[in-house]
Amino acid sequence: MQNNRWQFNLSFSSTCPSSFRVAGRREFRQDNLGKHGELLLDGIFDCFHEITTALAFARMNDSAYRVDTTSRLAQWRIDNLAAFTYRKSNPFRIGKWNWHLAVEKNRTLLIKLYPEISNLTQDGPPIVSFIIRLVSLSEGRKVLVHPEIRDKQLKSSDDFVWALEVPFTGKFIIDGGESCSIWAEGVAQKESYATALTSLGRMLSESIHTDIIINAADGSIGAHRAVLAARSPVFYSMFSHDLKEKELSTINIPDMSIEACQAFLSSLYGNIGNKDFLTYRLDLLRAADKYEVLDLKEACHDSLLEDINTKNVLVRLQNAKLYSLQRLKICCMHYLVKFGKIYEIQEEFSTFIQSGDRELIWEVFNEVLSIWKGF
């Protein structure tokens, strides 16, 4: 029986103490913000600090076993873990499975990650890849990072155990972090119609009876009007009216490279591979929005939700605004505000405040205020 495969990155983190917050802020004085701009940023980061601190510790009784999740991110806040203590989290859902985190404190601190027992995990245990890091709030943000786990099958609570010989005391947060995309291999080629998809793919790759030329920025490729019209109402309209595309049998897409255009056509023909999808998904999102290929746009939306991290969150947030991807926008704002990741990208956020979309910046501030009102 084949195992289900997915990827999940896990990290341990905590809210930022005031000393870290103040020290990091001095780096922004080179940004030419002016006195008022500096005061604005000071106020913003003060507000974020208060919110993340409150999120971590204000409702400990309610959150002692709850794991908060968004996209592929999970956080479990731990406070006052006494010696000779075992604590298991409530189940939280990542991918198709429900998961548990567990900590056991004796002479060492043991950290476990394992799926909840079910018929699904018994018949097809997940194979995962992840990274764990531990940041202690009570010890000057001491950081420990577990070596990356690659393609490991997790079936029981004994399959992954991280034993920490270094003593940790006080408060800390278990923070599930930036993950890789889990776009499923073969998702576009279901067994029931694999032969038909393969044939369509050959029509494109071997230029079998092509009747339209696509001119990209740096090359051209042949395609079929019928397939394009069936997949896109925009293409259908082009070929149904006396437009230049119909008359000249050409379509100009000057804002796409030939490689991205090939990936776009492959997705329309139903045979795009996993690697190409991930490589060109922002180009695919742009094209899907432009040519109204709604299923492709939704697939890109789902994929972009899966690997939000500190390097791409602000770009993802702006793409979410540009292409009206509401779920992605919410996840990015939660990632920045609720999970406190803004502390890790203070300089980038400063640039975003100066040059980003005004309406989007206001929405981020509203997210801050909405969370603050809960405390």
CATH of the domain at 228: 3.30.710.10
Measured N-to-C along each axis, helices 274-290 and 294-306 cross at an angle, to the nearest 10 degrees, of: 130
Give the contacts of 366 (CB within 8 A, at least 6 positions apart): none
User: Does this model's pTM top 0.95?
Assistant: no
User: Range of 291's domain?
Assistant: 191-305
Residues 193-205 as b or e (16 or more Cβ within 10 Å = b)? eeeeeeebbebbe
Q: Which two three-digit tokens encode residue 71?
A: 């996209």
Helix (H) or strand (E) holding 205: helix 194-205
Give a yes or no: residue 149 inside a domain.
yes
Question: Are both 140 and 176 inside the same structural domain?
Answer: yes
Q: Which two three-digit tokens encode residue 182?
A: 């889990």
Give a yes or no: residue 82 inside a domain.
yes
Question: Are both 173 and 204 inside the same structural domain?
Answer: no
What is residue 278's predicted lDDT score, i.e. its pLDDT? 93
What is residue 318's predicted lDDT score, i.e. its pLDDT? 95
CATH of the domain at 41: 2.60.210
Burial class (CB in 10 A: 0-12, 13-18, 19+), 324: exposed
Give a yes or no: residue 163 inside a domain.
yes
Question: CA-CA distance, 103 to 88, in Å (whole number)?
Answer: 7
The residue with tokens 């004085």 is 29
Give a yes or no: residue 244 inside a domain.
yes
Burial class (CB in 10 A: 0-12, 13-18, 19+), 104: middle
How many structural domains compose the chain?
Answer: 2
Q: How many CB atoms lie within 10 A of CB 318?
A: 16
The torsion angle over the Cα atoms of residues 32, 37, 40 and 45, rounded to 10 degrees, is -10
What is residue 63's predicted lDDT score, i.e. its pLDDT? 63
Give a yes or no: residue 44 inside a domain.
yes
Q: What is the pLDDT tens value at each position of the chain, 375 positions in all?
A: 444 444 444 543 333 333 333 334 444 444 555 666 666 666 666 666 666 565 555 554 556 788 877 767 777 778 777 766 888 988 988 777 888 898 888 888 889 999 888 877 777 788 888 877 777 777 666 777 888 888 888 888 899 999 988 766 677 777 664 444 333 333 333 455 577 778 888 899 898 999 999 999 999 999 999 999 999 999 999 998 877 777 788 999 999 999 999 999 999 998 898 999 999 999 999 999 999 999 999 999 999 998 899 999 999 999 999 999 999 999 999 898 888 888 889 899 889 988 888 899 888 888 777 766 554
Q: Which two three-digit tokens encode residue 109?
A: 């601190």
Question: Are both 158 and 250 inside the same structural domain?
Answer: no
